[in-house]
Chains A and B, each alone.
Chain A
Amino acid sequence: MISRNMAYKFDFALEILAPSLVFVAVNCSVWFAIYDYNSLDTLNGFTLEEMLNYQAWNLVVTYMIRSHRSSSLSDDIRLGKITSFLVYPFEFWRYYYSSYFGFQMIQVIVAIITILVLYSLGLITNLSPSSIINGFLFSLSVGVLWCTLEFLAGTAAFWLEETWVFRYVLELTAVLLSGAIIPITFFPEMLQKILVYTPFPYLGSIPIQIFSGTYENDILLAYFSIIIWISIFSYITKIVWKKGVNLYTGAGM
């Protein structure tokens, strides 16, 4: 999986680097302008340095969590490629998750390089080894949840011709509600209260706090919540997959 992803190196570099550079340019510029034009020392409890720090960790978390595998799943279903997997002596989800983790290995390396670059630029100020290790471990766990959500979105290909819509809506919703664009504390209070009962903060806000060493709650509780969410969505995915396979007609057999 690593070699497949790295086969087109220029393409790979653009897919990884372009969003990061633009992300840093846009987010840092916007927040810098907000603080600078209004001569603010703090905004909603964040100093400018803390906000830039938040955005920098946000980039690392994005690498670690929100990668895209379901596009290939929907193609595999639509084009009948899963037929061969159905007769192999291992289940398709094993292949899917192992290819996800293969890709994550590259993402971990990219994330480490990103941390070093952002640290040297002064955008990350607090590099505590325990926070970094905790952050990586927690992000990898959340990555499993994201992978499961993407798998679920990809199974829509059993019923629909085009499934990019589900992936896109999932991505958009996750980006906004996880606090990837603006921290969750900037949201209206009512929305903040509702988000506590959803998996969205785990896709952005909480891993960022763990990486930056500002997470105040019990980390074991956070792991427990992630396991619960993974279990719930895995169960739903299993049911949907079974129903989908029952409908499936292997094109190209």
Chain B
Amino acid sequence: MRYRLLHYYSVFYQNCLNATAKLLSFRVNFILSFIVEFSSAVIAYTTIAFIFNHINQLGSWDRDHFMLFASWMQSILCLHTTIGAPNFWNFSDELQNGKLDFRLLRPIGSLFDAFTAIIRPSSAVVFPLHLAIFAYFACQVGLSWVSWIIALPLLILAFLILLLTELVVALFMFWTIQGDGINFLRMQGQQLQKWPDFIYPTPIRSIFTFFFPLLIPGSFSIMFLLNPGEIKYLIIMLFIFVILILLVSYQWKLGLRRYESASS
């Protein structure tokens, strides 16, 4: 098991090195990607700032809580854009042109290989900015020391749940002719996640919490950070994480059975 984990880690590490080398070769692309990430961040924060210029509270949260949530969600999405997002588009292409065959032949888990092959380090450049904003607003709302300690592992867990929920959607590409529509659908989930769950009416909140857990990564993790005593949030996240792993593994096997290579 230890050897296997090390093997996967070394592949992932090598992918990171390759991506960084590529990034340094195309500096203009790096700068442009930075502009995109920075613009996205500015829009996310200014939207909340503009709204809170006209109101003081939304539910039990004030501007600081919302900014804390926004910075937390932006951090998760930043990890996702760096590691996850490019692979979903690549997977769609590889399914269509038959390049997925090569991944199936490699001596490594094909699901892991297909969804960690492309890494976009340029997107990670704004990660420290989101963390700094998170730290500032965490001080403003008076986050406890326990929350500070669990913040990083919780961020990784939230990111993994987000990635797995998107994988559940993305793997339906095996059953469609083109993958662009599925990718559009997948991306729309992120729009829902950019707001805390309590702003949604009960039916929408229930569907996207219990039926398809899109609201879990952002809302449940921030609720747990704000109230570390409420252990139920962590238990639900861990439970959903395990369920999603099982679901994705099963879906991947089913999908591969359905897959007809375009190149063979």
Contacts and interface: CB of A to CB of B under 8 A. Distances in A.
Given A14-B181, A19-B184, A186-B50, A172 B40 contact: yes
A8 B177 CA distance: 8
B250 to A, nearest CB: 23
A173 B39 contact: yes
Contacts of B195: 26, 29-30
B200 A29 contact: yes
B57 interface: yes
Nearest to B58: A37
Contacts of B51: 34, 182, 186
Interface in A197-216: none
Contacts of B43: 172, 175-176, 181
A164 B180 CA distance: 15
A217 interface: no
Contacts of A89: none
B176 A160 contact: no
B178 interface: yes
A38 interface: yes
A91 interface: no
Interface in B56-112: 56-59
B118 to A, nearest CB: 13
B181 A176 contact: no
Interface string A3-33: 0000010111111001101110110011011
Main secondary structure of the interface of A (DSSP, over half): helix
A18 B180 CA distance: 12
A162 B29 contact: yes
Interface residues of B, number: 40
Interface string A108-145: 00000000000000000000000000000000000000
B58 A169 contact: no
A19 B186 CA distance: 10
Contacts of B57: 37-38
A14 to B, nearest CB: 3
Interface in A8-66: 8, 10-15, 18-19, 21-23, 25-26, 29-30, 32-34, 37-38, 40, 43-44
A93 interface: no
A117 B192 CA distance: 22
Contacts of B53: 186, 188
Given A18-B185, A18-B188, A22-B191, A43 B39 contact: no
Nearest to A35: B55
Interface of B: 26, 28-29, 32-33, 35-36, 39-40, 43, 46-47, 50-51, 53-59, 176-178, 180-182, 184-185, 188-189, 191-192, 194-195, 198-201, 204
Interface of A: 8, 10-15, 18-19, 21-23, 25-26, 29-30, 32-34, 37-38, 40, 43-44, 160-162, 165-166, 168-169, 172-173, 175-176, 181-182, 186-188
13 contacts: A8-B178, A10-B176, A14-B181, A14-B182, A18-B185, A19-B188, A34-B51, A38-B55, A40-B55, A176-B47, A181-B43, A182-B51, A186-B50
Nearest 9 A/B pairs, CB to CB? A14-B181, A11-B181, A165-B32, A33-B199, A22-B188, A18-B185, A11-B178, A8-B178, A29-B200
